[in-house]
Amino acid sequence: PCNLTGWWKNDLGSKMQVLKVGNNGTFSGEYHTAVSSAKNPIQPSPLFGSQHLDEDGQCTFGFTVNWKFSDSTAVFVGQCFSGDDGKEVLHTSWLLREKVSSEPDDWKATR
């Protein structure tokens, strides 16, 4: 079965640490991004999420990252897959919402 607890790394060099998945599927940890368009120095940022505790081990999950170094928030959704070699792989999609100064600028706030 998929176990999100531990360190994960993506293709761009960003890392996240999931500290513990509770009996109800909730978890927390830190995200260490390797990429940013923010002007401030990158800092590890808290993440909070939840996963389905599926018996087949290929769980879906989601989590939110509140970036400590910028006025933005990201949400990730994904699924854990166990390969034939036993290695677990996460496939995710994400949205990033940046703060904008006015409602007319709302169109450019999410990517």
One-letter amino acid for residue 21 of the chain: V
| pTM of the predicted structure, to 2 decimals | 0.88
- For 6-34+43-108, CATH number out of 2.40.128.30, 3.30.420.40, 3.40.50.300, 3.40.720.10 equals 2.40.128.30
Residue 57 in this model has a pLDDT that exceeds 90: no
Q: How far apart are CA 25 and CA 4, in angstroms?
A: 10
Residue 35 in this model has a pLDDT that exceeds 90: no
> Considering only CA atoms, which of 1, 13, 11 is closest in space to residue 92?
11
Q: What is the pLDDT of residues 3-31, one digit of tens each?
A: 899 999 999 999 999 999 999 999 999 99
One-letter amino acid for residue 106 of the chain: D
Residue 55 in this model has a pLDDT that exceeds 90: no
Cβ-count burial 28-56 (b if 16+ within 10 Å, e if not): ebbbebeeeeeeeebebbebebbbeeeee
Q: What is the pLDDT of residues 70-110, one digit of tens each?
A: 989 999 999 998 877 888 899 999 999 999 999 999 999 99
